[in-house]
Amino acid sequence: MKTKMVSFTPETLPPLTKAQRNNLARLATLPDDQIDTSDIPELTDEQLKHAVRGRFYRPIKGSVAN
């Protein structure tokens, strides 16, 4: 089965539905100890050894005024 990749930018994101906004608001009120993170795999020592901070950071380009 061929799948189509969808790509969005912050300017082209579809608006959130009312249900999505309500769900996000509910999740924002949950304390950290009530969030289930059991399905998130922990990073191994090998992965942490090769981690690079800011690898995908790219500063915003702009003109410099004199």
Q: Which tens digits make up the pLDDT trace of 5-59?
A: 888 888 888 899 999 999 999 989 999 899 888 898 999 999 999 988 888 888 8
Comparison of pLDDT for 30 and 1, the residue scoring more: 30
**What region does 54 belong to: left with phi over 0, alpha with psi -120 to 50, or beta?**
left
pTM of the predicted protein model: 0.43
Q: Residues 16, 24: contact at Cβ < 8 Å?
A: yes
* CA proximity to 36, closest of 44, 45, 27: 27
Q: How far apart are CA 23 and CA 30, in angstroms?
A: 11
